[in-house]
Amino acid sequence: MGTSKEYIDYVLECLDHIEGIDARKMFGDYGLYMFNRVMGFVCDDQVFLKILPGSTRVLGEDAATGEAYQGSRPYYIIQDLEDDEKMGLLFRALYEDVPEPKPKKPRRGKIT
């Protein structure tokens, strides 16, 4: 099904008070980033965030979880995007737990 442009615009509008938030299109859906760290995904018009100690601390042990896509590991399902205070706490806590992305290796050129 994929995520609609309208929904990703809504998500980014809800999170625009949090510095560094960005979404990048991938396979018909979107990766959700904070300062180049992957926080989760937006798939089929639903937000999924990584389950890490920081996100669990904010959301609680019994927060709703689900697969972002068929066969994925579980992620927290986020439903209260309009709660600015909670989303700010959640993303800052999660950011502390997500490692810096590994530098990409340069591509090898073809030998001619």
What is the tens place of the pLDDT at every residue in 21-79?
999 999 889 999 999 999 999 999 999 999 999 999 999 999 999 999 889 999 999 99
pLDDT of residue 110: 65
pLDDT of residue 112: 59
pLDDT of residue 48: 98
Question: Are 42 and 11 contacting, i.e. CB atoms less than 8 angstroms apart?
Answer: yes
Secondary structure element (H or E) that encloses residue 78, with its range: strand 74-78
What domains lie within the chain, and their CATH numbers?
A: 5-97 (3.90.1150)
Please give the structure tokens belonging to residue 89: 């706490």
Q: Is the pLDDT of residue 109 over 80?
A: no
Tally of residues, the chain: 112
pTM for the model:
0.88
d(CA 45, CA 48): 10
Max Cα distance, the chain (Å): 58
Q: 64 CB contacts (<8 Å, ≥6 apart)?
A: 76, 77, 79
